[in-house]
Amino acid sequence: MKERLEALKQEALQELSFVASQQELNDLRVKYLGKKGPLTEVLRGMGALSAEERPVIGQVANDVRAAIEAVIEEKQAAYTKEETENRLRSEMIDVTLPGRPSQQGAVHPLSKVIQEIEDIFIGMGYTVAEGPEVEQDYYNFEALNLPKDHPARDMQDSFYITEEILMRTQTSPVQVRTMEKRKGEVPIKIICPGKVYRRDDDDATHSHMFQQIEGLVIDRNVRMSDLKGTLLQFVQEMYGPTTKIRMRPSFFPFTEPSVEVDVSCAMCGGEGCRTCKQTGWLEILGAGMVHPRVLEMGGYDPKEYTGFAFGMGVERIAMLKYGIEDIRHFYTNDLRFLKQFLHV
């Protein structure tokens, strides 16, 4: 049996000397050291040996196993080292290469205009108020003097979720919620920026979703002249100190009296051009004195308090400010358009 073990050792070492891959090495490990290998069979036959032969053969068998395992471990270490070196070579990074410059982003033009409008009104003592985009019919219409079946609702057809829940058509509900929250306290000076939704057909000047900013002031002795002065200061900070405003009579259910507000055309200085259709003026927003009924529903005595409100579409402000002709440019994510505002 001793001779058999020695022959097994020589056979294994010879085969190991010709191993060409890690797979072959694993196969030889199983062949000679596995549970069904020749070395295991020899050890199983030791039970037939005498008590004197058993320790001698056992020692020889252990030496044979140790010799085979040593060669296998040595070759395994070599293969592991080679694999590591190959992986390092394949994953090597040339640190001498120039870096890849990252593209610098920019604030979206609508966000930029919203921030600018907020800064102007905060400088005049206003605070920014926000509310839900999914709104109750009561806050969106009824509390603003637009009861159900009022014909003026047709101008603000929206997306209804239920008969009483809809996507808000204006940020005016924030004004109502603010009045309820303040419970008759004055003064109120807020602007309400946010998204609004209407069932409009998308074209160069209309969108089913757009940004709006409304303002509300309530106090004692608030007059129409205060509204005019506020809007004049706003447009001059937005478009330049020589900008003028014009107020034309209009109708809104939630203000009385109501006005449409125009600004002098920045392109021609009011002389008349293609942009302003030769009129010298550009419509910019709607405004008016808060309707007594709206004050009353908000918890304010219209005999003691007055107020004014105004509302503007941010896209309209931005289009006039930057000379943009199509509102859809704001929402198509065309980098050629957006990159123009990188350093504006």
Q: Helix (H) and strand (E) counts for the chain? A: 11, 9
What is the structure's pLDDT at 46?
Answer: 63
pLDDT for 127: 97
> Alpha-carbon distance 31 to 34, whole Å?
6
Q: 283 burial class (0-12, 13-18, 19+ CB within 10 angstroms)?
A: middle
Measured CA to CA in angstroms, residue 64 lies from 9, 72, 141 at distances of: 6, 12, 95
256 is in an annotated binding site: yes
**Residue 101's pLDDT is what?**
82
Q: Which stretches of 52-151 are DSSP H helices? A: 53-90, 109-123, 137-140
What integer pLDDT is reported at residue 75 of this predicted model? 81
CA distance 273 to 196: 32
Q: Give me the pLDDT at residue 66, please.
A: 81
Convert the pLDDT of each residue in 124-133 to its tens digit.
999 999 999 9
SS3 assignment, position 116: helix
- Weakly modelled stretches of the chain, pLDDT under 70: 1-2, 40, 42-54, 56-58, 155
- CB 189 within 8 Å of CB 290: no
Report the run of H or E that residue 260 belongs to, with start and end. Answer: strand 255-264
pLDDT at position 320 is 86
